[in-house]
Amino acid sequence: MAEIGMHRTRWIVDMKICCIGAGYVGGPTMAMIAKQCPEIQVHVVDLNESRIAAWNSSQLPVYEPGLDEVVREARDRNLFFSCKVDSAIAEADIIFISVNTPTKAFGQGAGRAANLEFVEKCARQIARVSKGHKIIVEKSTVPVRTAAAVRQILASEANNATFDVLSNPEFLAEGTAVADLLQPDRVLIGGDGASAVEKLADIYARWVPRERILTTNLWSSELSKLTANAFLAQRVSSINSISALCEATGADVDEVARAIGSDSRIGPKFLKASVGFGGSCFQKDILNLVYLCEHFGLPEVAHYWEQVVLMNQYQKSRFSRQIASSMNNTLSDKKIAIWGFAFKKDTNDTRETPAIDVCIDLIGERARLAIYDPQVDAKTIMHDLRKALAERGRQGELDWLVDHVQVVEDPYVAADQAQAVAVLTEWDQFRSIDPGRLSDRMVGPKLIFDGRRVIDADRMNRAGLSVYRIGQGFRWAHTASSGA
């Protein structure tokens, strides 16, 4: 892996950037480039008019700590959001493709392969509109060798325009996007054209130390993104598999995580046991990796990585089963409060959130749910649950959803008359819940199922609440008769 030369700092004047896709990745990434490089014009375009309107308003479509300030500083100075895709492409020197690449829902590779429809559409549009020379940057996570397909489309449809195609995967995590963009562990640029690679590297070098800007060939860069997400998800599935064993043996998963994480070869990060990983990337990218392995005739490698996803599914359903079995296997008409719906704290994103699976399981048991999340609105939650029921062929339960699932704006209100609380996102506010106030609201048996290990079991126990924590099992209330 080469490093870009340390001593060249090129000041890029009059450069124009276009980014197609104003999503969780495109929006924050471009805002950071615009903030750090005031002399570069950055134009973010999207087909979705309401999303663009939100980027131009005071209520950004993406909730990220610190993002408002970054956008405020650059917007209308050198950062612009619009739906004028053709003109933004025509004017740009560098075009980032940051559209979504969901798992294919139909055809060959359905349920596993990435749907590249939007990436290809962008390539065609770029080819049609472009003149002169342009650098095309794949920001979206794509299967290995997608750049070859993009190149082919550009070559076959372009009118005399020429292109360099680079891969520049984004490693930011939601909830910490601004910090990750400000101080990335590394920026990865894959490409064959040295001058194009250097141009892109020069932009990042405005705020990222040169030694953190890594360059590789195109295929290594594309594969590194899938591999990084697979390794991260694998750590979560590994510790989650051990959490089940901890509950069976009396070990505590946090103690195990601390003990193994102190080994510098293992390291302490990404060892938090949870109800399961979510988010738009982990499952999609692993399935994509699995599909690639199968495609290249490597079934053993495919099976190995598939286990990471299967373990995650097991962990989510294990959590729901724990709730049911702790309540006499009868949840019918019992009220359960759901605390947290986002796939992790500090984001309003609910894509692949474990909360969807757990809620759908509980609805299947005919539990009544009151859901609270500080950042996800009621419309999104109900839409996600309706969609999940439909995808599972369970439209017959839509009436139950409408009549017995509500979204509320306060965690204590959610717990009102509830027999149990399930904590599904690690929002900080759940760490400082008042046990007495909560206990007063709830009715017996007053159970808390902590899928994120944020609840202080001792304090809850003293207030008459029993707590199940993932990877630790039950801590019974001092007053509880059952198993104290």
Structure tokens at 471: 């990877």
Give the separation between CA 142 and CA 140, rounded to whole angstroms.
6
CB-wise, 171 or 400, nearer to ligand UDX? 171
Residues ≥6 apart with Cβ < 8 Å to 242: 253, 256, 273, 471
Marked catalytic residue, from 246, 281, 293, 359 = 281
CA angle 270, 30, 136 (to 5 degrees): 100
- Tell how strand 2-3 and strand 187-190 pair up: unpaired
CB-wise, 125 or 439, nearer to ligand UDX? 125
Burial 49-75 (b: 16+ CB within 10 A, else e): eebbebbeeeebbbbbeebeebbeebb
Task: Examine residue 61 and say whether the peptide bond preceding it is cis (omega within 30 degrees of 0).
Answer: no
CB-wise, 278 or 464, nearer to ligand UDX? 278
Nearest distance from residue 45's CB to ligand UDX, in Å?
7
Give the type of residue at 304.
Answer: Y
Give the separation between CA 450 and CA 275, rounded to whole angstroms.
8
SS3 79: strand
Is residue 281 annotated as part of the catalytic site, yes or no? yes
Burial 143-171 (b: 16+ CB within 10 A, else e): bbebbebbbebbeeebeebebbbbbbbbb
Nearest distance from residue 14's CB to ligand UDX, in Å?
26
CB-wise, 264 or 328, nearer to ligand UDX? 264
Nearest distance from residue 257's CB to ligand UDX, in Å?
8
Give the separation between CA 286 and CA 293, rounded to whole angstroms.
10
CB-wise, 29 or 78, nearer to ligand UDX? 29
Nearest distance from residue 116's CB to ligand UDX, in Å?
11
Q: Where do contacts with ligand UDX occur on this chain (CB under 6 A)?
A: 20-26, 46-48, 51, 98-101, 118, 121, 139-141, 170-174, 229, 232, 236, 270-272, 274, 277-282, 343-344
CB-wise, 203 or 465, nearer to ligand UDX? 203
Structure tokens at 253: 């998963």
Nearest distance from residue 172's CB to ligand UDX, in Å?
5
Nearest distance from residue 150's CB to ligand UDX, in Å?
14
Helix, strand, coil shares, percent, the chain, to 5: 45, 15, 40
Residue with the closest Cβ to ligand UDX?
23
Q: Which parts of 409-477 are beta strand (E)? A: 420-423, 447-450, 466-469, 473-475
Q: What amino acid positions are annotated as catalytic residues?
A: 281
